Chains A and B, each alone.
Chain A
Amino acid sequence: MEFFKEIIISGLLLGGLFFLAVGALGLIRLPDVFTRMHATGKCDTLGAGMILAAMFLLVPGLTDKVKIVLMGALIATINPVMTHLIALVTYNRGQPPARGTWTLDYYDYGKNNRVEEIPEEEDNRK
């Protein structure tokens, strides 16, 4: 029984590390801020949830288990809200996505706009 518990804990820990590694890979390799946010926002929440589940099984004592459950609830609510806020502020500042992205304009629904080549003097990505 103890052996199966250790197997489950190890699997959850290594799975969480795998998803976090995928998120870090996306953070480094993807072309613009929106896609990087897309990679980290989801992988970070899932990986943190798996590692917290493993720690929930690992620690003894009810107090520590309750603290870990509270931590999981806070991460699962704060992390997507933060990602949404960063995306909203970035969009409102007019920062364009990567070249070649198909966007649905916020103020003009139903019309697909493709981000074209931006002239050098209007490129406010820097």
Chain B
Amino acid sequence: MVEQVLTIMQFGLATLIILAMIRAFAGPTAADRLVAINFIVGQVILFILVSSPRADIALYIDVSLVFVLGAFIATIGVLKLLEEGKL
């Protein structure tokens, strides 16, 4: 039963990433795009994590942990660029 649910999770998370990409492309301001990209990063982390038991590769959990550690640097960089006008 868990295998079917994990398949549903993969399709669902991919759908949510595509829905959030609509906002990332169409968002009227830079802050909208930033919120959408932040959301997409969280979905990608969960997608990698959910793929781990189905592909039977435990290394995906490490990949997802490193993704968590590095994913928010870009947001801080863009925020500093918006606040000060330079990096």
Majority SS of interface residues in chain B? helix
Contact with B along A12-31 (1 / 0, CB 8 A): 01101100110110011000
Nearest neighbor of B62 in chain A, beta-carbon distance: A67
Number of A-B contacts (CB under 8 A): 125
Contacts of B22 in A (CB 8 A): 28
Q: Is there an interface contact between B39 and A126, defined as CB atoms closer than 8 Å?
A: no
Majority SS of interface residues in chain A? helix
Q: Is there an interface contact between A68 and B61, defined as CB atoms closer than 8 Å?
A: yes
The interface size bin for chain A is: 35 or more
Q: Is there an interface contact between A40 and B39, defined as CB atoms closer than 8 Å?
A: yes
Q: Is there an interface contact between A52 and B79, defined as CB atoms closer than 8 Å?
A: no
A sample of 22 inter-chain contacts (CB < 8 A) reads A7-B1, A9-B5, A17-B13, A23-B39, A27-B36, A27-B39, A33-B29, A33-B32, A40-B35, A44-B38, A47-B46, A48-B46, A51-B46, A58-B2, A59-B52, A59-B58, A67-B61, A68-B61, A85-B75, A86-B35, A92-B83, A93-B82
